[in-house]
Structure 1
Amino acid sequence: MHLYLIRHGQSYVNLKDWQGGNQDTGLTELGHRQAAALGVWMPTEIKNIDVIYASTMQRARETSAYVAAAYGVDVIADDRLREIGNNRADHTAWPSDDLPEYSDYWGSERPFASVTPDREGGESLMHFRTRVGSFIEDMVERHRDEVVVAVCHGGVIELVFDHIFNVGPFRRCEVWCKNTGITRFEYVEHPRREAWRLHYHSRADHLQGIESAFEVAKIGRDLDTGSQPPTAD
């Protein structure tokens, strides 16, 4: 099995000046450009895919639509791919219009405590790892000889690393992934070797020039509307 994990495009909750808390927001204008570039580039590198899964959160669904259009493959929504804290301890999803707020501690600091302590029934890091691991093992059983794409979140990708490389509960892999970055794993059964192989992480060839071109265009729009362009500190 070839497994491609894709982080969603830039969403409003990713913005440095975002003050809206934990919300199920969609993609920004830049996020849509990133996802569109992804949809154009992927078929040049990955000729065929068999199935696309996506988190049920809006930013992942919007990103997956570009990939689905590029390949003519329908998207399968899966709550197990939602970002940490957005599911209950029983792995069911919180309502998109009523998401809980996060704790002030990292999940790896208190791996068995809820990461959303103000909401009864919230998941811990271990609950999160269990649901992500469940998805990975399910993919192995269902799609052993196929090419799988999963559009998800940065936290999900980190927990896939934890699951595959068997990282303990009080540690976690901090593996930063760019928006629409691609991580490729391969599952190969071998009697004397580990089954999982990592080919690359956060590959983003399709983003070359996207961010800089977007910033230039944004400055131009600001000048047209009388706004001041950013200045160097």
Structure 2
Amino acid sequence: MQLYLIRHGQSYVNLQDWAQGNTDEGLTPLGQEQAKRLGAWLPSHLSNIDALYASTMRRARETVAAVVAAYNVEIRFDDRLREIGNNRLDHSPWPNDALPKDYADYWFSSRPFSPTVLNEINGETLMHFRTRVGLFVEDLIERHRGQTVVVVAHGGVVEGIFNHVFNVGPWQRCEVWDHNTAITHFELVEHPGREVWRLHYHNRVEHLIGLDV
């Protein structure tokens, strides 16, 4: 399986003093241009895809709209791809207006088993977040062996996938930064009796050359 991960374009959440997880904002004019350039450039690099997935949050929806226009494929929206802190313990999504707006309250804890949102007893922990992202990846493997899959989501989700595929333990973290609309390419290499993930590249942004970002 060839797996391409794309972070959403710049959103109004990026311009605020919080960590992008606790509000559902759309793309800025710059983010819209980033998404437009992504949609125009991607087919020249990736001529065909078998499946296209996206987070249900607005900034990802607006970004994936620019991608799907270039391919004859259906968008499959998945709540498991929402940014960290936006889901409950059972992985279902919080209402978009139900989370605290203050940065200090939002990032209450990044410890593995402590809630990421202050005073939300049913809010997910870092490990709940990593679990839902990992379950999504394992579903992809079963559904799309030998296929090419594109996922449009969030920086935290990309980091969560790094942690999952490289088996980073609960008390460790592989901290990964992505530019808006940056592309990451993983390959699942299947050998008899075992599977190996291979990273081809991360944070690819050729489509943004010449754009003041």
Is TM (by shorter chain) over 0.5?
yes
Query: What's the C-alpha RMSD, in Å, of the aligned pairs?
Result: 2.0
2:196 paired residue number = 195
For residues 20 and 168 of structure 1, what CA distance do their matches in structure 2 show?
A: 24
CA-CA distance at 1:72 after TM superposition:
2.7
Instruction: Please say which of residues 161-170 and 10-19 is displaced more in the overlay.
Output: 10-19
Q: CA deviation at 1:104?
A: 4.1
Cα distance in 1 for partners of 2:23, 2:92 equals 17
Distance (Å, rounded) in 2 between the aligned partners of 1:192 and 1:69: 39
Distance 2:174 2:131 in 1: 15
Query: For the Cα contact (< 8 Å) 1:100–1:118, is it kept in 2?
Result: no
Sequence identity percentage: 62
TM-score calculated relative to the size of structure 2: 0.92
Q: How many residues align?
A: 210
CA positional deviation for 1:98 = 2.4
Question: What letter matches 1:71 in structure 2?
Answer: Y
What letter is aligned with 2:168?
A: V
Residues of 2 paired with 1:181 and 1:191: CA distance?
33
- 1:207 maps to 208
Q: Which has the higher strand share?
A: 2
Give the CA deviation at 1:103.
Answer: 3.9
Give the secondary-structure state (helix, strand or coil) at the position aligned to 2:121: coil
Correspondence list, 1:142-221, <5 A? 142-191=143-192, 194-211=195-212
Which residue of structure 1 aligns with residue 62 of structure 2?
62
Deviation at 1:19, TM superposition (A): 11
**Contact 1:43 / 1:70 at 8 angstroms: preserved in 2?**
yes
Q: SS in structure 2 opposite 1:140?
A: helix
Alignment TM-score, normalising by the size of structure 1:
0.85
Give the residue type in structure 1 aligned to 2:32. Answer: H
Q: Which segments of 5 or more consecutive residues in structure 2 lack a partner in the other structure?
A: none
- Rg bigger for which structure? 1
Going from structure 1 to structure 2, the CA distance change for 1:193 and 1:137 (only over 3 Å counts) comes to closer
- Aligned residue type for 1:164: V
Deviation of residue 96 (structure 1)? 2.0
Aligned to 1:91: 91
Unpaired runs of 5+ residues, structure 1, are 213-233
The offset of 1:192, in angstroms, is: 7.5
Q: Does the CA contact (< 8 Å) of 1:23 and 1:97 recur in 2?
A: yes
Q: 1:13 to 1:198 in 2, by over 3 A?
A: same
**What is the one-letter code of the residue matched to 2:25?**
T
Residue 137 (structure 1) aligned with residue 138 (structure 2): yes
Q: Note closer, same or farther for the CA distance 1:161–1:20 as it changes in structure 2 (3 Å cut).
A: closer
What letter is aligned with 2:134? G
Letter in 1 for 2:62: E
Asked if structure 2 preserves the Cα contact closer than 8 Å seen for 1:51 and 1:149, the reply is yes
| Equivalent-residue separation in structure 1 for 2:19 and 2:187 (angstroms) | 39
The 5 Å alignment of 1:38-53 reads: 38-53=38-53
Asked which structure has the greater RCO (Cα within 8 Å, sep 6+), the reply is 2
Query: CA offsets per residue over residues 64-115 of structure 1, 9 Å max, x none?
Result: 00000111322111000000000001000011232345544451xx210110
Distance in 1 of aligned mates of 2:19 and 2:174: 27
Letter in 2 for 1:202: N
